[in-house]
Amino acid sequence: MTHVLSKRDRRYPRRIEAIDGAEIVLKDTDGDGDADLEVRVRDRQVCKIREKTVGYSTVFRGRSGRSFRLTILAIHHPTRTVKIAVSPGE
């Protein structure tokens, strides 16, 4: 599934409950095309993504212990918007 997160565009949320109890939070973007995200499960940070560009992918575990892959699909800095995909992991 794909999600769009934004800090400035009110059409999109800044944080979402993505899957299996995992919350994904957009922290910031910058002019270099980098994004900062955070994955939280049960109010605990499980994955910190800092200064990553389009195409970056990482695996995290949800509340049940199943793994999921988060991939950055697009970053639009002027509106601080990031498009991500979350899919079943390895």
How many angstroms separate the CA atoms of 30 and 54, rounded? 13
Task: Judge whether residue 89 has pLDDT over 80.
Answer: no
* Mean pLDDT estimate for the chain: 94
Residue 29, judged by CB atoms within 10 A of its CB (0-12, 13-18, 19+), counts as: buried
User: One-letter amino acid identity for 56?
Assistant: Y
Beta bridge partners of 81: 6, 76
How many angstroms separate the CA atoms of 28 and 82, rounded? 9
Residue 43's pLDDT is what? 87
Residue 62's pLDDT is what? 92
What tens digit of pLDDT does each residue of 49-78 get?
A: 999 999 999 999 999 999 999 999 999 999
